[in-house]
Amino acid sequence: MIQPKPKLNSIASVKDDAIDNFINGAPDSGVSRSKSNTKESKRKKQITVTMDEELIDKIDVAAADNGQSRAAFINMSCINALKNGMKIKGLNDS
């Protein structure tokens, strides 16, 4: 049995729906999602920060020395700065 050719409108609408769902699923899409999707959505939010490559390299070395990921090191550094205040001198300063 030969199947009839599918209607183009139905295929286009399915593709459009898939594209819309993909775009709306992005963290920065602006579309609100229910917070029950993940436990993490209640606690953490992904952000983008631009840093100098030299600073990133230093962060990576310090994170590795402490057995942490880059993200964990940056999180702990921010927590320490907020809790204890900013320091002018660091470990490598004399």
pLDDT digits (tens, 9 = 90+) for 2-51: 887 766 665 566 677 888 888 888 777 777 666 555 555 578 888 999 99
Show the domain range for 54. Answer: 49-86
Residue 7 resides in a domain: no
Residue 62 resides in a domain: yes
Cβ atoms < 10 Å from Cβ of 73:
19
pLDDT of 20 reads 80
Residue 75 resides in a domain: yes
Residue 24 resides in a domain: no
Average pLDDT (74-89) is: 88
Residue 70 resides in a domain: yes
pLDDT of 74 reads 96
Q: Which two tokens stand for residue 14?
A: 């399915």
Instruction: Read off the pTM.
Output: 0.50
DSSP string for residues in 51-63: --HHHHHHHHHHH
- Relative orientation angle of helices 53-65 and 70-84, to the nearest 10 degrees: 90
pLDDT of 1 reads 76
Residue 36 resides in a domain: no
Residue 39 resides in a domain: no
Domain count within the chain: 1
